[in-house]
Amino acid sequence: MKIGLEIHVQLPTKSKLFCPCPTTDAPAPNTHVCPVCLGFPGARPMMNRKAIEYGILLAKMLGCTIRDTTWFARKIYFYPDNAKNFQITQYDRPLGEKGMYYLNGKKPIRITRIHIEEDPGKIKRVGDLSSLVDYNRSGVPLAEIVTEPDLSTPAEAREFLGQLIRDIRHTIDIPDDGERSIRCDCNISVGIERCEVKNVTGLKNVERALTYELVRQTKLLKAGGKVVRETRRFDEERGVTISVRKKEMEADYGYIDEPDLGIFNVKELTERLKIGESPQNMILRLSKEYGIDEKTAKQFVSTSVELAHLFEELAAATDTETARTWTSGAVSAGWKSFEARGGGDAAEVVSLIGKFKAGEITDTECNIRIRAFLTGTDVDEVRSGSADLDSIISEYLDVNPSVIEDYRKNERAANRVIGHVMKRTGGACSSAEIVDATKRLIEERL
């Protein structure tokens, strides 16, 4: 089975792609509109610099070749939400081409191209009588990323999308507004001919739509039938794909270059714009460079890239094993709270662990102080809470020594202790704290 995806991502500009209308949520339909995005005769597009910059960043992230000049084209199709009945997109010269992106750092997925285009408006259906169009979305910048059919299963496609979205968000700083903002056209073929399922929203639906197609096409072929090249849509409620039109009915888009925008020389911009390491690449690098397993690296990075950075600082100041233990333990336990309070400089943590390594403070004391620092709590308060917590755990372990034996075989044995302590403390301690303390005290007894 071969799967290729066309992924549409809204770029986080403040104004639209070709006009200064805001891209933020509008108070009512058709209130963030102007002559340009309504397609009024005589109005013409004006290019948003930021959209080009975001496009270049993504093209770089995908390892695309970015040529020195890029330009736009008109794609002509008639539809009520398409204000000019043509969409300004890219055709002959997309921003980036021939990229390569690695799924889990291993499987190469070829990127055909990435280009920038304008989003159409939104149609609200009212019965079958007429359509009601809201052009607030018309002209919002999109990046379209097209992959080669290098994905082999619906689950893999979902995994790929998840990783891609995480990397995109990190690269161009898109707020995590749920996966629904990602729209996807999915091309899938089991045999020779392929079908395209248009406009599927969200990771879960992509996997559902592809799985449905996989089953449908396989059955069809087994029964001696033939898959026809066609466009289908996904009915989210029923979980099925439905034929929209056959290949021969496809519109001839009749592309021409857009004369109103001119061309864009992006060589200098491309050289100037640097992308940070993508989360996926960071996971791979941490695991390789420090010899920690990928699971741990992923845990650090998905908690926060800053936490992963702190791990690297600690490793440099002490050693990898110390850094790994403390980062997984006390630091991870308090990190969410630290970031919730605004994050910032965590050099104190490095200094505390340094003191512990130098034998100036005990590990319990170090633990308490790290916790106090990250949660912004008074050290004495943490100490007494922690002492309470430690004594509750120790009491339980004294009464149930079998836990230690079980823990040797399977770390999940700790859950029994954790469950008990949670009940006893009744929410006074965070679960991260309890987990950390339990593991610490069990490991002391091993």
SS3 72: coil
Pick from 3, 5, 17, 21 the residue near Zn ion by CB under 5 A: 21
By C-beta, is 229 or 440 nearer to another protein?
Answer: 229
Size of the site for another protein (CB under 8 A): 67
Of 42-50, 179-187, 214-222, 305-313, which segment contacts another protein by CB under 8 A?
Answer: 42-50
**Residue 261 or 418 with smaller CB distance to another protein:** 261
Residue with tokens 């059919």: 149
Ramachandran region, residue 358 (left: φ > 0; alpha: ψ -120 to 50; beta: rest): alpha
267 is a contact residue toward another protein (CB under 8 A): no
Q: Which residues contact 16 (CB under 8 A, 6 or more apart)?
A: 22, 23, 36, 37, 48, 118, 138, 139, 140, 141
Interaction between residue 261 and another protein (CB under 8 A): yes
358 burial (CB, 10 Å; 0-12 / 13-18 / 19+) is exposed
Stretch that binds another protein, among 75-83, 101-109, 158-166, 389-397 (CB under 8 A): 75-83
The secondary structure element, H or E, covering residue 289 is helix 279-290
Compute the least distance from the CB of residue 178 to another protein, in Å.
Answer: 23
Smallest gap from Cβ 24 to Zn ion, in A, equals 13
135 binds, among another protein, Zn ion, none (CB under 5 to 8 A by kind): another protein
Does residue 19 belong to the site contacting Zn ion (CB under 5 A)?
Answer: yes
Partner whose binding site includes residue 22, from Zn ion, another protein, none (CB under 5 to 8 Å by kind):
another protein
Q: Which is nearer to another protein, 91 or 290 (CB)?
A: 91
Nearer to another protein, 20 or 108 (CB): 20
With b for 16 or more beta-carbon neighbours within 10 A and e for fewer, the 365-391 pattern comes to bbbbbbbbbbbebeeeebbebbeebbe
Query: Residue 133 Cβ, how far from another protein at the closest point, in Å?
Result: 5
Of 7, 9, 33, 374, the residue at the interface with another protein (CB under 8 A) is: 33
Tokens of 22: 């805001």
Q: Is 120 in the site for another protein (CB under 8 A)?
A: no
Where does 304-378 have alpha helices with state H? 305-317, 320-326, 332-340, 347-357, 363-375
Among 50, 169, 357, 440, binds another protein (CB under 8 A): 50
| Position 258 contacts another protein (CB under 8 A) | yes
Q: Which does 423 bind (CB under 5 to 8 A by kind): another protein, Zn ion, none?
A: none
Using the rule CB under 8 A, which residue among 65, 85, 302, 415 binds another protein? 85
Burial of 106 (0-12, 13-18, 19+ CB in 10 A): exposed
Q: Which positions from 346 to 365 touch Zn ion by CB under 5 A, shown as an x/- string?
A: --------------------
Q: Interface with another protein includes 38 (CB under 8 A)?
A: yes
From 72-80, 213-221, 272-280, 379-387, give the range in contact with another protein by CB under 8 A: 72-80
Binding mask 216-245 for another protein (x = CB under 8 A): ------------------------------
Block residue for tokens 């607030």: 136
Smaller CB separation from another protein, 69 or 402: 69
The amino acid that residue 211 corresponds to is T
384 lines the binding site for another protein (CB under 8 A): no
Q: How far apart are CA 281 and CA 286, in angstroms?
A: 9
Q: Specify the amino acid at residue 56.
A: I
The one among 1, 76, 275, 418 contacting another protein by CB under 8 A: 76
37 touches Zn ion by CB under 5 A: yes
The 10 Å Cβ neighbour count of residue 107 is 14
Of 14-22, 43-51, 55-63, 406-414: span binding Zn ion (CB under 5 A): 14-22
User: Measuring CA to CA, which residue among 373, 351, 372, 353 is closest to residue 363?
Assistant: 353
Q: Cα separation of 336 and 11, whole Å?
A: 28
Query: From the list 4, 5, 6, 15, which residue makes contact with another protein (rule: CB under 8 A)?
Result: 15
Buried/exposed 129-147: b ≥16 CB within 10 Å, e otherwise: eeeebbbbbbbbbbbbbbb
* Rounded Cα gap, residues 268 and 278, in angstroms: 22
Q: Are 248 and 228 in contact (CB under 8 A)?
A: no
The total of other beta-carbon atoms located within 10 Å of residue 92's CB is: 11
Comparing CB distances to another protein, the nearer of 232 and 369 is 232
**14 near another protein (CB under 8 A):** yes
Summarize as ranges the residues that interact with another protein (CB under 8 A): 13-15, 20-24, 28-35, 38-52, 69, 71, 74, 76, 78-80, 83-86, 123-125, 128-135, 251-252, 254-265
